Structure 1
Amino acid sequence: MELVTHSPGDGVYPPTGDYAHAIEVRGAERLVFLAGTMGLDPSGVPGATLDDQLVLIWSNIRVILASAGMTVDNIVRLTSYLRDASYAGANAKARVEALGGRVVPTTAIVAQTLDSEWLIEIEVTAAS
Structure 2
Amino acid sequence: MEVIAHNPADGVYPATDDYVHAVEVRGAERLLFVAGTMGLDAQGRPGATLTEQLDLIWSNIRAILASAGMTVNNIVRLTSYLRDPSYAEANAAARGAALGGRAVPTTAIVAQTLVSDWLVEIEVIAAG
What is the TM-score normalised by the length of structure 1?
Answer: 0.99
**1:25 Cα shift?**
0.2
CA distance, structure 1, for counterparts of residue 19 and residue 125 of structure 2: 15
Residue number in structure 2 paired with 1:28: 28
> Could you tell me which residue of structure 2 aligns to residue 96 of structure 1?
96
Deviation (angstroms), 1:98? 0.3
* 2:87 maps to 1:87: yes
Give the match for residue 40 of structure 1.
Answer: 40
Counterpart CA distance in 2 for 1:70 and 1:92 is 22
CA drift at 1:19: 1.1
**Distance apart, 1:60 and its partner CA:** 0.1
5+ residue gaps, structure 1: none
1-side partners of 2:62 and 2:19: how far apart?
A: 20
3-state SS of paired residue (1:109): strand
Alpha-carbon distance in 2 for matches of 1:88, 1:18: 13
RMSD, aligned CA: 0.4
Structure 2: gaps spanning 5 or more residues: none
Partner of 1:18: 18
Percent of pairs with identical residues: 77
In structure 2, what is the equivalent of residue 113 of structure 1?
A: 113
For 2:9 and 2:100, locate their aligned partners in 1 and report how far apart those are by CA, in whole Å. 24
Whole-Å separation in 2 of the counterparts to 1:108 and 1:29? 28
Amino acid at match of 1:8: P
TM-score, with structure 2 as normaliser: 0.99
Q: Measure how far apart 1:106 and its partner are.
A: 0.0
Q: Which residue of 2 aligns with 1:58?
A: 58
| 3-state secondary structure, aligned to 1:65 | helix
Q: Give the distance between the partners of 1:66 and 1:17, measured in 2 at CA.
A: 27
SS at match of 2:37: strand
Aligned to 1:8: 8
Tell me by how many angstroms 1:7 deviates.
0.7
Question: What whole-Å deviation, never above 9, does each CA across 1:92-112 have from its counterpart, x for those lacking one?
Answer: 000000000000000000000
